Chains A and B, each alone.
Chain A
Amino acid sequence: MKLIKAIVRPNKVDDVKEALGRVSLPGMTVTEVRGHGKQKGHTAIYRGKEYDVSLLPKMQIEVVVPDNVVDDAVAAIIQAARTGEIGDGRVFVIPVEQSYRIRTGERSDL
């Protein structure tokens, strides 16, 4: 079981959601986040004055998947979120030890 955490451009969320649906992964958590990687933001000018926009708005998508679909899920995310420009985002794959269903308290292996 793995947690896939993807940081993507805000306008790519719908595409990623659709792509994950196609590999039978309908559930996900989406969070509005700010940050920067190599892109590091930039300095913008408004009415003559500079202001810092180094923390860029991004969307974080989290999905827990069985080990055997990790590659498909990651590939689906990358294909859907990619523009080829700096700032497309990152995908992290993190091991998950256990998972429990809150409603019943039972342990679940997805």
Chain B
Amino acid sequence: MTTLSGVESARDALSADSARGHGGRAALRRFSDCVDHLLQRLFDEAPGSVGASLVVALGGYGRRQLCLQSDIDILLLFDGPIGAAEEGRVRSILHPLWDLHFSVGHQIRQLDDFAELEIDNPEFLLALLDARAVAGDRVLLDGIAARVRTPAAHARILDALKHLIDDRHARFNDTFYQLEPDIKDAPGALRDLWAARTIAALTDPALIDRGPTDRARLDEAEEFLLRLRSILHAQHKRNQNVLNHESQEHAARLMGYSGEPRHQVERLMGDYFRHARAVSRSLEWVRQTAPVPVAPNLVRSRDGIRFVDAGHADAHPESWLSLFQAAIDSNTPVADDALTWIQQRIDRHTPEEFFPRPVDRTALLAFLKPRAGLYARLSEMHDCGLLGRMFPEFQAIFCRVVRDFYHKYTVDEHTLLTIRNLERLATGAVKGRERFGNLVADLTHPELLVLSLLFHDVGKWRDDDHAEESVRMAMEMMRRLQLPEESVAVVEFLIRHHTKMSLIAFRRDTEDPEIVRQLADLVGIEERLKMLCLLTLVDVEAVNPETLTPWRADLLWRLYVDTYNHLTLEYADERIEHQESGLRALVAGRPDDVAEAEITRFVEGLPRRYLQLFPHQAIYRHVRLSRDIRPDDVHADLEHKGSLWELTVVTLDKPFLFSNICGTLSSFSMDIARGHALTNPNGLVLDVFQFTDQERFLELNARGKEQFLTVLGAVISGATDVTERLRTREQSVLYRRRAGVTATPPVIHADNQSSRRYTILDIVANNVLGLLHGVSRVISRHGCDVDLVLISTEGQKAIDVFHIAKAGAKLTDAAIADLTTDLHRMLEA
């Protein structure tokens, strides 16, 4: 057993070796072993603890490379709670080390502390990788090792290590050509060498040998660097690792370089840079080649994304989609062996097993958003059988051939090509189609369009009318996915009518207003029109490369514009009438607490598009809000919908009402994304706004909703002046327009033709805080009633359509001129 004096002798021996330039790996190992023996003795002589305990060597000491002035990093581990007995044991081990003037980096932990890995302490996790049992019950270390040596923990450690390397290199300006290098921390020095070995050990140990610097060459570099480090520790008698100019002459002499002192130094540093270069290249190679963790249980290798722990993936088929999601996120394919692995197991699972929880179904919809890589990943899923297993309906058209004179591909490939075409529109990859690309960006739920595309032709497994069969099969899929009622309605609509718009655009007289009106009636709202237009475009394009000529794209675009204008400019004259079919269906499906009379009283006279804008359940909520309403009452509801909030306000019409509601939203910095303002003939107003809560006011304040609704009520009743509230907000530095950012000139188009009742103002302007409030305030100041408003945004542009009247009639040309002049003045201010 080593005595205290024995350790001092060992330290003297290492000091002597170091001073001769012989403090390399063998010498450090001897010193480490001697410290091991000392700790074993101290451990044995220490008073007993209640449970088992262990001394663990960490970091450099764990690697048996304890340098002369390095900290002795140890972990004192106990199997149970740490009480007085354990503390006594700790003192008996640590105090003698301190008395020997060792610098000790110690951690005292109980085994339970490692139940969860400390992912916020990457240095400690890294130190654990070199953990070595020195004295005590070694079984305790096996428990920790089992937790650290899991693929998930390795992924976390790798990620942390790479960040540490980047931060460290940044401190040295990312170059190993340092004239006064830090032998431990500089790029190309000892930490890089250990990092290269660690990354290889955690990912693929054979990487080191396949790289530009073989194992023996790295060992040689390590020996050289450790000898230098030992010299510095012996020379400075502290943990000094910088080989400065003064130390270089000293070290060169001790390392045995011959010649004049200047030449000795030049040779020493020449060798240093040779070794540093070898280490740097090795680390770079390992970093580039080693698999990179990209998501739980997923890494990115050179050939693509693969699972880390195949056993875990095997037990969790719901995680398989994440493989393809990560591939899209990383802009790489899925690795071939991962696809083969799926192919070999695909028959074991039912469709339900891929989406058992709401979070899995949400992940599927997120995956289907059109963006670069979606087509390629769906094709991989199709090729390995996963797509057909998740959606047996899609499998029905696997390699399906429909013989006609125009389709050039099998039905499954045609379907996937439609999604590729949509992806290209979304990413702006096709020149001349930017106008369609903008429509993709406008969509609230583009994933539903992709889902519709995926299923639009599945009915072609049969030879008769495929659209209805596709709808039937898609309904089955949506039942499994438990999609909400509104989403089901959208997908069903798009699939059922997926050939309608091409039929009209290419085979009907689109200059006939009646044809346009019929299409507008069919789609009902702009969102569906945009989706149907895009579906038509990508579907036609996927038939064969020559089908979609610029001429046809133009025909389709003109039909889209005419129908869009019909929907947004002419809807005011088409009102819900007594006993019409949409109203009858609404009444028939009403819940018990809603009476037929109150539905008809609320709905009759609203624009017909109201029935298409909102699902029935939402309309029943509106009806409930309208109950017992009196002047100055505000019945409002605020709910979180995905990334947006939705405010629904029911009240009785009064001057400046719309302006006040918009102003209240803006005074809380809410950014209005879209909305509708509707007024029925009884003067009942329904305003629905969807907005983002830019300052997270509603999220961060427990009583935020209540506070907002109180302010809204006060503003509408006139008790609070919203203009004053808004002025302070607009003066905030957060919302002041930045210098140098040019605003797009506003566009105001007044239309006195499209509607029988209203003058229509189409306003396109920069989407700035308080825009709607300002515009509607000017309109109200001109004595106009704001009866209907459509609010939408496209990037930084706000696109708002106001239906206004003055004293129940359209505006005169003179009144329009006055109003637009004032609006221009306000927008350009």
Contact = CB atoms under 8 A, between A and B. Distances in A.
A2 to B, nearest CB: 27
B792 to A, nearest CB: 9
B552 A45 contact: no
A57 B551 contact: yes
B748 interface: yes
A32 B555 CA distance: 11
Contacts of A103: none
Interface stretch (A16-24, A46-54, A65-73, A89-97): A46-54
Interface of A: 9-12, 14, 32-34, 44-50, 53, 57, 83, 85, 87
A48 B554 CA distance: 19
A89 to B, nearest CB: 12
Contacts of B561: 44, 46
Contacts of A11: 506-510
Give the top 6 A-B pairs by smallest Cβ distance, nearest first.
A48-B762, A32-B551, A48-B764, A48-B749, A48-B747, A46-B561
Contacts of A45: 565, 749, 751, 762
A9 B509 contact: yes
B511 interface: yes
Given A48-B749, A57-B555, A10 B762 contact: no
Contact of B747 (A44, A49, A87): A49
A83 B512 CA distance: 10
Contacts of B510: 11
27 contacts: A9-B511, A10-B506, A10-B507, A11-B506, A11-B508, A12-B509, A32-B552, A44-B558, A44-B565, A45-B565, A45-B749, A45-B751, A46-B565, A47-B762, A47-B794, A47-B799, A48-B762, A48-B763, A49-B747, A49-B764, A53-B558, A57-B554, A57-B555, A57-B558, A83-B509, A85-B511, A87-B511
Interface in B773-794: 794
A45 B799 CA distance: 13
Nearest to B764: A48
B642 to A, nearest CB: 25
A10 B747 contact: no
B505 to A, nearest CB: 9
Contacts of A50: 749
B564 interface: yes
B549 interface: yes
Interface in B539-576: 549, 551-552, 554-555, 558, 561-562, 564-565
Contacts of B764: 47-49
Nearest to A51: B561
Interface of B is mostly: mixed
A43 to B, nearest CB: 11
Nearest to A42: B511
Interface of B: 506-511, 549, 551-552, 554-555, 558, 561-562, 564-565, 747-749, 751, 762-764, 794, 799
Nearest to B435: A46
Given A46-B564, A48-B748, A48-B762, A14 B552 contact: no
Contacts of B762: 45, 47-48
Interface of A is mostly: mixed
A12 B510 CA distance: 11
Nearest to A33: B551
A57 B506 CA distance: 10
Contacts of B506: 10-11
Given A12-B509, A83-B509, 20 more contacts: A9-B509, A10-B555, A11-B507, A11-B508, A14-B507, A33-B551, A34-B551, A34-B554, A44-B558, A44-B565, A45-B762, A46-B565, A47-B799, A48-B747, A48-B749, A49-B749, A57-B551, A57-B554, A57-B555, A57-B558
A87 B549 CA distance: 22
Given A47-B799, A49-B747, A32 B511 contact: no
B789 to A, nearest CB: 14
Contacts of A46: 561, 564-565
B478 to A, nearest CB: 32
A65 B758 CA distance: 55
Given A32-B552, A57-B554, A48 B508 contact: no
A106 B764 CA distance: 64
A44 B751 CA distance: 12
A14 B747 CA distance: 42
A106 to B, nearest CB: 30
Contacts of B564: 46
A83 to B, nearest CB: 7
A33 B551 CA distance: 7
A57 B510 CA distance: 11
Contacts of B565: 44-46
Contacts of A44: 558, 561-562, 565
A48 B799 contact: yes
Contacts of A10: 506-507, 555
Contacts of B562: 44
B450 to A, nearest CB: 25
B53 to A, nearest CB: 74
A14 B565 CA distance: 29
Contacts of B554: 34, 57
A18 B378 CA distance: 43
A32 B549 contact: yes
B796 to A, nearest CB: 14
A45 to B, nearest CB: 6
A48 B763 CA distance: 6
Nearest to B562: A44
Nearest to A58: B551
A49 B763 CA distance: 9
Nearest to A55: B554
A50 to B, nearest CB: 8
A77 to B, nearest CB: 17
Most chain A Cβ neighbours within 10 Å, of B549, B558, B751, B794? B558
A3 B147 CA distance: 86
A49 B751 CA distance: 12
Nearest to B554: A57
A54 B305 CA distance: 52
A14 B509 CA distance: 12
A105 to B, nearest CB: 29
A11 B749 CA distance: 32
A54 to B, nearest CB: 12
A44 B562 CA distance: 8
B526 to A, nearest CB: 11
A60 B511 CA distance: 18
Nearest to A83: B509
A46 B510 CA distance: 16
A50 B762 CA distance: 11
B261 to A, nearest CB: 79
Contacts of A33: 551
Nearest to B748: A48
Contacts of B511: 9, 85, 87
A32 B510 CA distance: 16
Contacts of A53: 558
A11 B554 CA distance: 14
Contacts of A9: 509, 511
B629 to A, nearest CB: 34
A11 B508 CA distance: 5
Contacts of A87: 511
Most chain B Cβ neighbours within 10 Å, of A10, A46, A47, A57? A47
B121 to A, nearest CB: 54
A33 B748 CA distance: 34
Contacts of B794: 47
A49 B558 CA distance: 14
Contacts of B763: 48
Contacts of B555: 10, 57
A32 B551 CA distance: 7
Nearest to A86: B511
B18 to A, nearest CB: 78
Nearest to B508: A11
A45 B570 CA distance: 13
Most chain B Cβ neighbours within 10 Å, of A10, A12, A53? A10
Nearest to B504: A11
